[in-house]
A and B are shown apart, each in its own frame.
Chain A
Amino acid sequence: MQRTTMDLWVGFFVMAGIGALLLLALKIGNLGTYSAADSYTLVGSFENIGGLKVRAPIKSAGVVVGRVTDIQLNTETFDAAVTMNIDSRYKFPQDTFASILTSGLLGEQYIGLAAGGDEAFLKSGDKIMKTNSALVLEDMIGRFLFNKASEGNDEKK
């Protein structure tokens, strides 16, 4: 069997194809930026998660430290049980505060972790005790209207 120029072109083609697949994975996709290879899981229960979704980022001081991997309804307490995958480079104290925040006015929702001052760190499978639910706009407007209405009643008296 002899080498032909056709082989050269096919070689180019296959290389370009594999290169394109790699570019898709590393440059366009997020395979290079965050890998779940070394991570541990934490669980948090929230009264209301609003629009939080699986794969939402978990940030601490604005830095992405992990992702939400699972959201389930706990049928005993009727809270949302959120499983989080945290990069094992980052350790958090046991009194860390987890709250559901929104990036921007209309942006996606994410979990913000605010570290406490405890000496002991959270281990894999631990539950985050201090949580803060998502702000639901309808609830806020409802409360605002209710307050306004009661103020109006006070003035009439």
Chain B
Amino acid sequence: MVDSIWRLGYASRFFLLTLLKSGTSFRRFDLIIRELYFTGVLSLIIIIVSGLFVGMVLGLQGYETLQRFGAESAVGTMVALSLVRELGPVVAALLFASRAGSAITAEIGLMKATDQLAAMEMMAVDPIARVVAPRFWAGVISMPFLAALFSVVGVFGGYLIAVVLIGVDEGSFWSQMQNAIDFRYDIVNGIIKTCVFGVAVTAIAVFEGYDASPTAEGVSGATTRTVVTSSLVILGLDFVLTSVMFRGMS
């Protein structure tokens, strides 16, 4: 119990330290670009493929339920609302945690296990500024882009199923969607969610990597902890954010 509180305090101090030292990494932006490639570009495939399938399933299930009430033209609204508000941010963040978060943890943990971080300190290079901060910022930047792509591809998947395959009227599919989705209320709130998730997932990933015990077992345990903790944190934060943002206002 005391140990976990101790660890939480250490994690908070580590987070603040990362923020304080990120000035250096912004001056060397090529480091962030390199990490953007590894966390953002390499996550594109999994995000796009799962977004497409999630959208297609939503289209099928939405049509199946809505046609009982003769409201099958509202299937676009249903697909887009559920993607923009919930599934886009949450599923993209879960995939991001298991695709990119685990990689960040394993990389930093292995650097620690092979004494690369200690060697950097020896050369008066701060490992937090050189290794941790660029990875943190790359994750924070790529998360909103990935979630937006997920939502757009998902809506396209819903369109493929509902309009192309089943034959819902195309005009009412788009116009009902545009009528029901408000830019500030739905989309901006969804983007705020993804930014919060991006900070949470990458902060957990870099901390677990930095804190891993320098053995093969320690690194594997840290990687598992990253995925488990960030998934739980994403779902918990999502509930908190949803209850703050969408209090039955619409």
Residues on A lying within 8 angstroms of B by beta carbon are 1, 6-7, 9-10, 12-14, 16-18, 20-21, 23-25, 27-33, 53-55, 57
Contacts and interface: CB of A to CB of B under 8 A. Distances in A.
A53 B249 CA distance: 8
Contacts of B181: 28-30
A97 B52 CA distance: 47
A53 B186 CA distance: 16
B33 interface: yes
Given A10-B33, A17-B149, A25 B41 contact: no
B interface residue count range (under 10 / 10 to 19 / 20 to 34 / 35 or more): 20 to 34
B144 A17 contact: yes
B177 interface: yes
A1 B30 CA distance: 9
Contacts of B174: 27
A53 B180 CA distance: 13
A40 B162 CA distance: 39
Nearest to B88: A24
B84 A24 contact: yes
A6 B34 contact: yes
Given A10-B36, A17-B145, A53-B250, A23 B152 contact: yes
A28 B84 contact: yes
Contacts of B44: 13, 16
A39 B144 CA distance: 32
Q: In terms of DSSP, what is the predominant structure of the interface of chain A?
A: helix
B182 A28 contact: no
Given A20-B151, A21-B191, A30-B179, 14 more contacts: A6-B33, A13-B37, A13-B41, A17-B148, A18-B145, A20-B148, A21-B145, A27-B174, A28-B152, A28-B155, A29-B186, A32-B178, A33-B178, A55-B250
21 contacts: A9-B37, A10-B33, A10-B41, A13-B36, A13-B37, A13-B142, A14-B145, A16-B149, A17-B40, A20-B149, A20-B151, A23-B152, A24-B84, A24-B148, A24-B187, A28-B187, A29-B178, A29-B183, A29-B187, A30-B179, A57-B179
B39 to A, nearest CB: 10
B146 A17 contact: yes
A28 B149 contact: no
Contacts of A7: 33
B80 interface: yes
Contacts of B250: 53, 55
A9 B41 contact: yes
A119 B249 CA distance: 38
Contact of A16 (B145, B182, B186): B145
Contact of A30 (B145, B182, B191): B182
- Nearest 4 A-B pairs (CB), nearest first? A17-B145, A20-B148, A29-B183, A31-B183
A69 to B, nearest CB: 12
B148 A13 contact: no
Nearest to B149: A20
A44 B37 CA distance: 55
Nearest to B155: A28
Contacts of B30: 1
A64 to B, nearest CB: 8
Among B37, B142, B191, chain A packs the most CB atoms within 10 A around the CB of B37
A15 to B, nearest CB: 10
A5 B129 CA distance: 25
B54 to A, nearest CB: 15
A21 B141 CA distance: 13
B152 A10 contact: no
Nearest to B37: A6
A1 B37 CA distance: 17
